[in-house]
């Protein structure tokens, strides 16, 4: 945790100063941050140790005009994707009760050859869930890959389908999705316990819970 902490803190301070200067001198200037859920959720316990560990300051510095969450459900097993997205969105609403979050959904096409992707129907499903959660903006990553896979008229077709009245999307409970979110907060807790014997105890409990959950899935 000691490596790079000073650089991250300086980056936070510089970014905070930049945002304050921009808002004071250019009131119309908007600043959007796009990041993954662990970096937004990091502040639930009043610190930013995950952001420091990953050397990616998000909040702090905070005070962004727009929050945009990378909600890539393609990384989850197919049966867990809707519940995982639902958990992410509720997590953002709890973390920022007075803010709206935009969502970057995907993956529509792999950035790396090994990355799993969503079908067009799955992208529509995720967009409808985001829309039902009052997301002000929904983006697809990445667009070039989506056009190559689904055709040049993808954007117009996708927009029409998502904005049209649609039946409710069923969201079923998933242990895997719950475990993924639990792991984020468990890791944050372990960072708080570093240097303490409680770290060892907490780690043992975490492994025990994971083993039992995986056994229950079989």
101 and 197 assigned to the same domain:
no
17: CB partners within 8 A, 6+ apart: none
What pLDDT score does 199 carry? 60
99 and 167 assigned to the same domain:
yes
Q: Which H or E run includes 74?
A: none
126 and 76 assigned to the same domain:
yes
139 and 186 assigned to the same domain:
no
Evaluate if residue 215 carries a pLDDT over 80.
no
Q: Over pLDDT 90: what percentage of the chain?
A: 47
pLDDT digits (tens, 9 = 90+) for 148-197: 999 999 999 999 999 888 778 889 999 999 999 998 988 888 888 765 55
147 and 82 assigned to the same domain:
yes
Q: Count structural domains, the chain.
A: 3
Q: Report the alpha-carbon distance of residue 165 to residue 161 in Å, rounded.
A: 8
134 and 146 assigned to the same domain:
yes
60 and 70 assigned to the same domain:
no
194 and 216 assigned to the same domain:
yes
Evaluate if residue 23 carries a pLDDT over 60.
yes
59 and 96 assigned to the same domain:
no
Where do runs of H (alpha helix) occur along 67-114?
A: 81-95
Q: Is residue 27 part of a domain?
A: yes
Domain enclosing residue 136, as ranges: 66-173
Residue 28, judged by CB atoms within 10 A of its CB (0-12, 13-18, 19+), counts as: exposed
What pLDDT score does 1 carry? 43
Q: Is residue 216 part of a domain?
A: yes
123 and 163 assigned to the same domain:
yes
């Amino acid at each position: 945790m000691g490596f790079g902490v000073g650089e991250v803190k300086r980056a936070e301070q510089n970014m905070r100063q930049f945002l304050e200067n921009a808002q004071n001198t250019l009131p119309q200037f908007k600043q959007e941050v796009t990041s993954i859920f662990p970096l937004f959720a990091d502040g639930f316990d009043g610190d930013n140790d995950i952001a420091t560990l990953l050397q990616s300051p998000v909040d702090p510095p905070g005070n962004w005009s727009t929050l945009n969450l990378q909600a890539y459900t393609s990384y989850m097993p197919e049966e867990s994707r809707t519940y995982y997205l639902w958990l992410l969105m509720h997590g953002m609403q709890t973390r920022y009760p007075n803010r709206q979050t935009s969502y970057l959904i995907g993956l529509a096409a792999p950035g790396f050859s090994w990355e799993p992707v969503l079908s067009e129907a799955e992208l529509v499903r995720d967009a409808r869930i985001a829309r039902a959660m009052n997301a002000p903006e929904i983006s697809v990553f990445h667009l070039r890959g989506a056009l190559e896979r689904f055709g040049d008229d993808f954007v117009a077709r996708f927009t029409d389908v998502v904005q049209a009245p649609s039946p409710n999307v069923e969201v079923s409970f998933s242990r895997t999705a719950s475990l993924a979110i639990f792991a984020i907060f468990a890791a944050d807790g372990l960072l708080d316990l570093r240097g303490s014997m409680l770290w060892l105890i907490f780690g043992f409990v975490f492994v025990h819970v994971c083993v039992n959950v995986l056994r229950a899935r079989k």
